[in-house]
Amino acid sequence: MDLTGARWRKSSKSGNNQGDCVEVADNLSDVVAVRDSKDPAGPVLAFGPAAWQAFVTRIARSR
């Protein structure tokens, strides 16, 4: 998977939690990538844009 050009961002809700959060790169056209902010060179989870949108929508509804 080529993540060249990925722009990683943390949630604005992550606050001051000693870095225990994930980063998301959603600027790529065919994949949304998720990684551990403490291990940026580590493994990455990859989702198709539709699957990611379904996940985010489900999370928003459960609040």
Tell which residue, 50, 29, 30, 37, has the closest CA to residue 11.
37
> Is pLDDT at 29 greater than 80 in this prediction?
yes
The pLDDT assigned to 16 comes to: 67
**For the chain, what is the mean pLDDT?**
88
- Count Cβ atoms below 10 Å from residue 45 Cβ, excluding itself: 12
Whole-model pTM? 0.81
> Is pLDDT at 25 greater than 80 in this prediction?
yes
Q: How confident is the model at residue 18 (pLDDT cuts 50, 70, 90)?
A: low
The pLDDT assigned to 33 comes to: 97
Tell me whether strands 32-36 and 22-25 are parallel, antiparallel or unpaired. antiparallel
